[in-house]
């Protein structure tokens, strides 16, 4: 385990924390637990932060051990579905951990929220499962990690509802080359989530985490807490599940509004893997890799079945659906055809149409970029999914990249990093910026970081890192302004504003939604090649804008899909869309995006 000396670079002075929290003002208190109190703070260097302050009564012994363990784990391991430790303080008797603030709080607080629809719940579970899988299987060849206290209150949600596992004070680290088992004397975990075999034998394994995660899955499925208090006794959700699941009466304990949203295949796939996590014998429980696989299927089934959207999309595009009403999961040939067709139509209907409604925004951003002036600027563009932030960055790039000695536009950094790895992205940036005839080949991420730091500092570069979703990506691709030559401009787009604040942007630009006239113009340019509706299509065009206004991506997509179609097909499409919510349709496009690599 790391000593304080080994992680000294992460220390922050107590005065900075006092300033950020207004001297631990009670108004900034956002949470509490056995460890101590958690405050929200504002830091000049890191933006909005969460400050966990160790209770003085537990500042020695077990509390200090948990403090050091959290620092050791989070300084050694980084993953988009683990909380990010920014700094810590061990000064004047205070032991404090500083994290990036996750603005949607902990999962337990929103379990009963009507705003948390089934698709979003599926994504949260998949995120958390990936984080736990990373701890179990992917932290490296030398170690494995058990969390030991998985529960909904230890799963935090950022502003985009991405789930992140937190609270590693009870975690256990062990070598990867031996059977991963611990004999524990002290109590470990939280009642209602504890593996019954561990409770009986004191033997703790990865499957103990799997059991706890199964309880969380049923919390999310049912829309209720894992433990409810009724007078002097507690009602445990796992006991209700054990009573109802074998009898096929699980629907009785699922929130009715949630149940109405669930497609049968999605619900059945989800509940099956969740119940397997709760098997009494740990040997019968799945691994987290298997859990991730099944949760992905549950999400795919929900997305593809929602209002028959995949089949509707295929019909819009004139593709064959000869397999009848049966729509296979997203990896079918039908989905590939949809993706390829939409991609081709988007490319043919794009160009400068994409920047309609963004002329003012482009001028605003260009004035802040100060192209042609000295210094190095990092510019952050923040916006929700489909808001046009990538379009804006792309338009700026196309207009000014020739004014730099080298340039590179990296699409979908988050998605590409998961598919290809960060090393591939580093190779692309170095090769493009230096205008190399042959692509550079790197031995490791560390080598890539060193090469970027040493080779790019003599070059005036324009680099766009599009759709970044984790701070570690920025550290590896644009760690510091010192990496780049005089006059360089680094543009970063993201849905996570806190990420930009943590990386000390020189310019922070929020993409404003389009107004109704701009929405109509954008749609018409993709549907008709003109900035106004063609005669007889005015009402139908306005109906589309009324439904998808504020979502440029959806307007462009449907404009491209309907381009060249006759009135009957327009009316047919409009009728089909009446039964589908905007969220369902946007989810369809997000899935297509994952195939296209946007």
3-class secondary structure per residue, 540-583: HHHHHHHHHCCCHHHHHHHHHHHCCCCHHHHHHHHHHHHCCCHH
Catalytic residue flag (residue 232): no
Cβ neighbours, 10 Å, residue 193: 26
- The phi and psi torsions of 406 (rounded to 5 degrees) equal -150, 155
What does the alpha-carbon distance between residue 219 and residue 209 come to, in Å, rounded to a whole number?
A: 15
Distances (CA, A) of 391 to 356, 363, 493, 530, 562: 10, 14, 10, 19, 21
Distances (CA, A) of 226 to 94, 204, 211, 480, 557: 33, 21, 13, 44, 41
Distances (CA, A) of 312 to 569, 581, 591: 12, 14, 15
Q: What is the DSSP letter of 135?
A: I
Helix then strand then coil, % of the chain, to nearest 5: 50, 15, 35
**What SS3 class is residue 235?**
strand
**What SS3 class is residue 298?**
helix
Q: What is the DSSP letter of 230?
A: E
- The phi and psi torsions of 140 (rounded to 5 degrees) equal 145, 175
What does the alpha-carbon distance between residue 456 and residue 452 come to, in Å, rounded to a whole number?
A: 5
Q: What crossing angle do the helices spanning 264-277 and 118-133 adopt, rounded to 10°?
A: 30
Q: What is the DSSP letter of 247?
A: G
In the beta sheet, which residues pair with residue 37? 32, 53
Query: What is the C-alpha R_g of the chain?
Result: 26
**What SS3 class is residue 49?**
strand
Strands 507-510 and 377-382: parallel
Contacts of 454 (CB under 8 A, 6+ apart): none
What does the alpha-carbon distance between residue 555 and residue 266 come to, in Å, rounded to a whole number?
A: 28
One of 25, 115, 138, 149 is an active-site residue; which one? 149
Cβ neighbours, 10 Å, residue 448: 22
What does the alpha-carbon distance between residue 287 and residue 135 come to, in Å, rounded to a whole number?
A: 12
Number of residues written out for the chain: 598
Burial zone of 55 (CB within 10 Å; 0-12 exposed, 13-18 middle, 19+ buried):
middle
Residue 172 annotated in ligand binding: no
- As annotated, the active-site residues are 149
Annotated binding site: 52
Annotated binding site for ATP: 52
């Amino acid at each position: 385990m790391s000593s304080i000396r080994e992680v000294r670079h992460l220390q922050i002075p107590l005065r900075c924390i006092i300033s950020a929290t207004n001297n631990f003002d009670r108004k900034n208190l956002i949470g509490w637990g056995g460890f101590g109190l958690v405050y929200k703070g504002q830091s000049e260097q890191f933006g909005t932060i969460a400050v966990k302050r160790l209770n003085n009564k537990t500042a020695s012994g077990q509390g200090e051990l948990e403090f050091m363990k959290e620092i050791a784990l989070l300084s050694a391991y980084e993953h988009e579905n683990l909380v990010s430790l920014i700094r810590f303080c061990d000064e004047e008797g205070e032991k404090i951990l500083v994290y990036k603030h996750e603005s949607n709080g902990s999962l337990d607080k929103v379990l009963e929220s009507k705003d948390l629809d089934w698709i979003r719940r599926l994504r949260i579970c998949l995120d958390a499962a990936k984080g736990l899988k990373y701890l179990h299987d992917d932290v490296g060849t030398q170690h494995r990690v058990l969390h030991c206290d998985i529960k909904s209150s230890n799963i935090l949600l950022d502003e985009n509802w991405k789930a992140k596992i937190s609270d590693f004070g009870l975690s256990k680290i062990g070598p990867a080359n031996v059977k991963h088992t611990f004999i524990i004397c002290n109590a470990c975990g939280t009642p209602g989530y504890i593996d019954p075999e561990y409770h009986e034998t004191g033997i703790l394994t990865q499957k103990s985490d799997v059991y706890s995660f199964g309880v969380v899955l049923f919390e999310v499925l049912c829309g209720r807490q894992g433990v409810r208090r009724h007078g002097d006794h507690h009602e445990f959700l796992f006991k209700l599940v054990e009573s109802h699941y074998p009898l096929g009466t699980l629907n009785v304990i699922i929130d009715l509004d949630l149940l109405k949203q669930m497609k049968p295949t999605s619900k059945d796939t989800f509940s099956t893997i969740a119940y397997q996590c709760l098997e009494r014998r740990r040997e019968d429980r799945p691994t987290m890799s298997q859990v991730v696989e099944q949760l992905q299927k549950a999400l795919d089934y929900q997305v593809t079945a929602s209002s028959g959207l995949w089949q509707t999309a295929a019909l819009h595009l004139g593709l064959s659906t000869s397999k009848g009403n049966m729509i296979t999961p997203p990896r079918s040939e039908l989905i590939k055809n949809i993706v390829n067709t939409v991609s081709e139509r988007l490319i043919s209907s794009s160009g400068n149409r994409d920047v309609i409604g963004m002329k003012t925004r482009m001028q605003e951003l260009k004035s802040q970029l100060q192209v042609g002036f000295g210094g190095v600027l990092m510019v952050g563009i923040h916006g929700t999914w489909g808001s046009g932030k990538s379009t804006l960055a792309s338009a700026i790039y196309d207009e000014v990249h020739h004014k730099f000695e080298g340039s590179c536009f990296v699409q979908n950094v988050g998605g590409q990093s998961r598919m290809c790895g960060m090393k591939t992205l580093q190779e692309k940036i170095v090769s493009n910026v230096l205008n190399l005839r042959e692509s550079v080949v790197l031995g490791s991420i560390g080598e890539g970081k060193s090469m970027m730091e040493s080779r790019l500092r003599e070059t005036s570069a324009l680099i766009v890192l599009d759709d970044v979703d984790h701070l570690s990506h920025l550290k590896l691709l644009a760690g510091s302004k010192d990496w780049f030559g005089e006059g360089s401009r680094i543009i970063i787009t993201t849905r996570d504003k806190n990420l930009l604040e943590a990386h000390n942007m020189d310019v922070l630009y929020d993409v404003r939604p389009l107004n109704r006239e701009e929405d109509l113009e954008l749609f018409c340019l993709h549907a008709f090649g003109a900035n106004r509706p063609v005669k007889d299509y005015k009402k139908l065009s306005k109906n589309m804008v009324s439904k998808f206004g504020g979502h440029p991506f959806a307007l462009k997509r449907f404009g491209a899909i309907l381009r060249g179609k006759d009135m009957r097909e327009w009316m047919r499409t409009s009728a089909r869309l009446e039964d589908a919510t905007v969220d369902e349709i946007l989810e369809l496009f997000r899935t297509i995006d994952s195939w296209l690599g946007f």
